Structure 1
Amino acid sequence: MSSRDAILAKLRQQTLPVQDLPDLSGPWISYENLPEQFAKALTGIGGVCHFVSSLDQAREHLQSTPTFQAAKQTVSLVPDLIAGNVDEKQIDDPHQLETIDYAVIPGEFGVAENGAIWLWDSAMRNRVILFINQHLVLVISANHIVPTMHHAYERICADQNAFAAARFGAFIAGPSKTADIEQSLVIGAHGPRSMTVYCVG
């Protein structure tokens, strides 16, 4: 028997007592103002949150943004907010989306704990559109913000129809960033350089 097999055999002989799973009914983190906490968390990870009363107000703000004014290619999956000039549903090769400046996409709900937003891929043909653009804009209802990731997973699992139909889902939290190199934070290293969230209502 090799030394490797001997070690593995000894490990297999070790048994640990069975432990009961923790009780999940205890008190969880709570916030007095979920939208306010969501905006604070999102700002802390490099994103920007704007509370607007309507999509018209969001459109007015977005159109006044210098980077949007300079954008040449825009994908919009929220046509009531802004009309894009690239239809990503007509694109077969995701590589063709590498020149997209702005992507405007609807989100399902936000998480106050960490500023993340959950999205299903049902609104898009190419899920790479979430990651390949220069500037990402997500739109959610201000009433659709849950306190913690625990509540977020409860909500995802509760919608069995969406869960069964979806091919892909993701939490998106802030723009792309890394601090691997010399512990220097770089925004937009391998994804969107900015993330703006419009909380409507």
Structure 2
Amino acid sequence: MELNRLFLLTIFLLHIKLSRMIPTRLVCDRRLIQKYISDSMELENQVNQCDELPLLQQPVLLPLVGFSLREWMAKTNQVKGQEVLRDLLTLVDGIAATQQELKQPCPSVLLQQLYGKASFFVLHLQSYGSQEPEATRQPEGTPELTSETNLRMIFQTYRQLLQGKLHFFFNDLRKEFSCGVDRHARSSE
């Protein structure tokens, strides 16, 4: 799985400038996270339209992405970022494992799209973490996991993660990133 992440990072770096890895626009423009949430719902709808989705022969481990808002608000942004990153990394690993097993074209194409979208957020969160003074290379702790054989649950977990933890995390980051007047100055650079 580490090889998949290294390969994805290499491709990503070849296509964008390092200076654009800071997720300021992603955080400051609320419409972007809403677009990604809508995209996740669309992917979930598309996978439901695939004919005869098989149950996975090998159960995949998925993060449990539900959370208590009260506990969430008590955490620092660094801890929140680590938690979301940990969940995304687990999800990306689960998607990769499922791709190796699945042979049907309809869900395979959608899984590939999901892998790219989830990996996009992994890279952005790793970029944010590298800017934190006490950031670690790997997220600390282990996520709570569930074993799943239903392919639809992979797509549902991604959507729930975007609608929940990632959405709230970006809301919290807006305060750190000076998204108001400063954003217009950056766009003219």
TM-score, length basis structure 2? 0.28
TM-score, length basis structure 1? 0.27
Q: Give 1 or 2 for the bigger CA radius of gyration.
A: 1
Normalized per residue, which structure has more strand?
A: 1
Normalized per residue, which structure has more helix?
A: 2
